[in-house]
Structure 1
Amino acid sequence: MPAERKPLISGNWKMNLNHFEATATLDKLRYLLAKDDYEVVDVSVHPPFTDIRTVQTFLESEKVPIAIGAQNCHWEDKGAYTGEVAPPMLAKLNVAYVIVGHSERREIFGETDVEVGRKVKAVFTHGMTPILCCGETLEEREGEAHHGKITGQVHAGIEVLTAEQVATMVIAYEPIWAIGTGRTASADDAQEVCGWIRAKVADMKGADAAAAVRIQYGGSVKAANAAELMGQPDIDGALVGGAALDPDEFAKIVQFRLA
């Protein structure tokens, strides 16, 4: 990957770890990662909403250079949306990255491309960086419909943004059939789709935006396959699920260059 695109390794904790467990996890992780790791790789953790304040307090008090992330948000700043969390609420907690349009949000909770696009815009409005997720089901992959599916998701997520905004965001390719299944797209498969995504960004927002946008791969990423995935020219990091709950495994993923 080009030197200007610093890899971003993001740990998505999903609906796991209470705030006590979150502190214990981070406490171990901070001893496993060294200053050199943070100089070459950006790291973010995305705990459940109930943990974010605890995570913020721990990381800031211990001066750990891990960015705080959220797993989702609403697109409105406030209102009668019971159970939702607004972007400015996250910004007040120094959240840096917000995952938007994760496949579980789309597949289980019915989020549409339009709603995801609104969320991406709202995240930018409040000074945070969206991690826009896209990906296909096994049926779509086997039917060779994955390019069309991903193109539509990317288009809806970035069409209202400026080229300058797109250049600073993150897009995560996560084949749905590889999430939590133990199956991983081959490095060549992942690279092919990530290269396709970069080409679509170039078509929509220009070569400069395409060259700068960071594209993560997500889907059963682990220490054993991280180095091969990260070695691909269009893969600039990883959106890590289950392995992010194990500090030892997650640290090895962050340290993929040492493998």
Structure 2
Amino acid sequence: MSNVKVAFICVHNSCRSQIAEAFGRHLASDVFQSYSAGTETKLQINQDAVRIMKELYNIDMEAEGQFSKLVSDIPDPDIAISMGCNVGCPFTGRPFDDNWGLEDPTGKSDEEFKIVIEQIKHDILELKSRLNHNEINISYFKSIIDQDRAAVVICNLNHEIIYMNPAAVVNYGKRGGDKLIGRSLLECHNKESQEKIRQVTEWFAQDESHNIVYTFHNEKQNKDVYMVALRDSGKLIGYYEKHEYRDRETMKMYDLW
């Protein structure tokens, strides 16, 4: 099972989000973990949804343990998807990664229910395909980063360290190495450096062309340090700290044998 957590969110966590969780568990558990929640709860999930999902796909949501939950009842998701705002826009304390804009079929005919169910199934399979493709791409990029002999530390916009390549684990060994993952990069810097890191991330956010800043030269190790913006379709999603050594290469050229 993948470690990627996807949360499907609507106001009552009674119908659309429950259907999405069920399809996610049955059709995409090899790519992401599915959760659903709401900003309010119902005593039971929508009985028409339960009945029709059982009739169409032999998926018994209640028998499989699904029930109406609050956002605070599920793990923090990597991806949060809103089912739509025609009932009301749920607030989770963080931006949604996508809004599927689905009509709420509650109280409507079976045919209208089936249309929404089929759309949710389609969206789940599309999400699975997209994330699976991204995971393949991530493997390529991870391989590039891991082969770099200079330290690379990747952070989200909360300055939380989300990845360290092997060189970074060694470089930060005295501070805990890979145990730093999940902690704030700011903890590895003094107050002056912390403020500069915040200033750089604010500068990154100001314009898509703001993407790299030279931050430090370590004379003892003869290396330069940079902060580089990470973007998704232009949107700032984090940054990484990149170390570049300036010593002349000691490897032999094309030393294959």
TM-score past 0.5 threshold: no
Q: What's the TM-score, normalizing by structure 1? A: 0.25
Give the strand-richer structure, 1 or 2: 2
Q: Which has the higher contact order (CA 8 A, sep 6+)?
A: 1
Q: What's the TM-score, normalizing by structure 2? A: 0.26
